[in-house]
Structure 1
């Protein structure tokens, strides 16, 4: 299977994504250990600091996304990544909780804003008919980059020395600079993926677009599947099934491999709101179907439990991938043509809030409730998925009518 997209802007964007996500993998695998084992912060302080920084960072999503509706998103994203490189390198100066927060808060602000700008850039590169495909392609290559970064971080973690942790920090910062340099190889992009036209964008922006927020909120609830997979499932695997800790790596590897293999294939048919909403419904039902599979593993012997964990994760990953492309298709198509960045920022804001709240609530629900907790979670996912098409229809019906272009052709929505 050929993973690299054909030569052109999407391939350049894919290379920039790989560079960026190698650094993501480095930091995901080693950042917490650097801050606790090398800097000397307590795990509680790191967790609390990251939570505070993450919530503050979400406030940048809509404003920086809005900038991408007025400026070239390629140049804007490259500038943000240079800023991220400087902040990432500043972790070398952290020596207390106070300095940690001084670095973590701007890092979170830049990261949240960069996600919205990235979405606007993907829309500009892919165009209305290719942006969901581009999103799925970049998701596949991002998994490759994160996996490579995680593997590289293993060397620093094995050495467990001050110098090794410093190299990890420097490596993360360097990947931002490399990614920014690659982004500047792209041609200049039209802001927001489409020109502004009077009467198309809603007054007050995305945060006053109630039906868009309802659809995006439904997608955000289903998006908590990420928290379930990376936090709840590992704790369930070790604590409730009796499986050895290495099984957690096998579970996550199943998700990674299937994402690389299937992300592009499962992205088809989500370019406009109606089919994307149906795919979101399908995602909710598939995630719901995986929940009882996870629940049953607690009552099985270890080997059957491990086998069922892997099967459940494969099912979960299909729902994960359908959700990702459906959510992207809806967020793109329901946005006015001149406000894609701002609307992507609002979508990211709701997704971030759901993830922040979900860490505690989902852990309490599943680990505290056991099998019943899994069934409640499955019921929630099914209900939200089933509601998605109706919400999307209301969102489409509430959009202002497009105005004709100078050539007498209507403006295509989203």
Structure 2
């Protein structure tokens, strides 16, 4: 008991070795992502001279193919240890990213993008299992803290990319792509040196490679989270189009809402996320998120009906409300995603979690632009109601899932403030991640 308590205390410390290494690796990697994502479309269209429609088609094909890697990679992580699979994915992504500077055709672009997405999906599954092990008794709280630095890394990378975009030359864009490739390599090196090589946990006899697919409460939660994930592209896709085509707001408003969304998430993710650890708390966080979106979506719609000087103020207010909802939504997702997964099958469960989220993001542009934008202001109102309905489903889904977990308290038990899930003493780690 003394030894286990010592291990728990160490794992909960924000500056513990594996957690610190994960934070550094993730920050470096996301700086590179911010550099690349800001300018990637410009590079492929202006430098490689691919039509925008071909770029969109290639990315769609790559995204859909990438979904296939989630569960197999998760099973490999559970069987052989998550760090090896995660590091392999980082190496593959570093190589494919560097190869983007050599492409000169749509076929080469699509093939490389597909390999990149397969590696990314595999890395997300294995990386989720690594985070669960490094988080110790409180994986959801650690994931919230990690996301703060992830958001900060994207902001730093995006600001850095602005210089290359302003220069607008092939060498400038090439430098961004190679910097992103280097970020994968650096992240892998940090993880190799600082994250333990966690051994696979013993699996019960009833364990099956695809057992997550028979876990109906978890599958329901993944569907719920994937649908709620549309909210991410409300700020990154839907609102910018709305502001530019349906309002008189100045063009700088689009940049402002990006910055404010990232800033609010950076400031509040750890503070609010640390309060959401158990699955039941995750369900309540989902409900809060839905209510926030119910307020923010109508506010965004109203920007079309106000004077030009009011539109930016209203857009900023709406994004602030929406961003708080995003923090609650992501915190609830961490608590349920980690808290409902068996310790020995974190890779498999995180694999399905990633597949669901990525599928939702792939469908988001079609839904948001083809349905919500086409309906105008009524579409915004329906979107807010949709999010609120998903949020209301959070608590009962969480209670159902808790009742189905072996050894979990039933839904009527008092809400414990204890950690969502405890790693068994046998799960003590060898150096890894």
Q: What is the alpha-carbon distance in structure 2 between the residues aligned to residue 162 and residue 219 of structure 1? A: 39
Can you list the C-alpha shifts for 1:336-371, whole angstroms capped at 9, x where unaligned? 221111111101111111111121111123221111
Match of 1:405? none
Deviation of 1:412 after TM superposition, in Å, equals 5.0
2:335 counterpart of 1:340? no
2:193 is paired with a residue of what secondary structure?
A: coil
Aligned counterpart, 2:413: none
* Shift of residue 400, structure 1, vs aligned partner: 4.2
Question: Which ranges of structure 1 fall in alignment gaps of 5 or more residues?
Answer: 403-410
What TM-score, normalized by structure 2, do the two folds share? 0.88
How far apart are the structure 2 equivalents of 1:168 and 1:253? 20
CA distance in 2, matches of 1:134, 1:295: 35
Contact 1:75 1:188 in 2 (8 A): no
TM-score, normalization by structure 1: 0.92
Q: Which residue of 2 aligns with 1:25?
A: 34
Q: Is contact 1:287–1:316 with CA below 8 Å preserved after alignment?
A: yes
For 2:156, the equivalent position in structure 1 comes to 148
Does residue 270 (structure 1) correspond to residue 276 (structure 2)? The answer is yes
**Distance in 2 (alpha carbons) for counterparts of 1:196 and 1:277:** 28
Q: Equivalent residue for 1:8?
A: 17
Task: Find the aligned partners of 1:203 and 1:38 in 2 and give their Cα distance.
Answer: 44
CA distance in 2, matches of 1:7, 1:246: 41
Aligned partners of 2:67, 2:99: CA distance in 1, in Å? 21
- 1:43 counterpart residue number: 52
RMSD of Structure 2 on Structure 1 (CA):
1.9
User: In 2, Cα distance between the equivalents of 1:7 and 1:120?
Assistant: 18
Task: Show structure 1 runs of 4+ deviating over 6 A.
Answer: none
In structure 2, the partner of 1:309 is 315
Instruction: Report the 3-state secondary structure (helix = DSSP H, G, I; strand = E; otherwise coil) of the residue aligned with 2:194.
Output: coil
Q: Does the Cα contact within 8 Å between 1:336 and 1:413 map onto a contact in 2?
A: no
Which consecutive residues of structure 2, in runs of 5 or more, have no partner in the other structure? 1-12, 409-420, 425-433
Give the distance between the partners of 1:35 and 1:95, measured in 2 at CA.
Answer: 9
Worse overlay, 267-276 or 14-23: 267-276
**Inter-CA distance 377–413: structure 2 relative to 1 (3 Å threshold):** farther
Q: Structure 2 CA distance, aligned partners of 1:44 and 1:401?
A: 52
Asked if 1 retains the 8 angstrom alpha-carbon contact of 2:31 and 2:156, the reply is yes
Matched, 1:179 2:210: no
Alpha-carbon deviation of 1:274? 1.2
Q: What's 1:320 paired with?
A: 326
* Alignment check: 8 A CA contact 1:220 1:350 kept: yes
CA distance in 2, matches of 1:203, 1:145: 35
1:71 and 2:80 correspond = yes
Correspondent of 2:69 among 30, 36, 60: 60
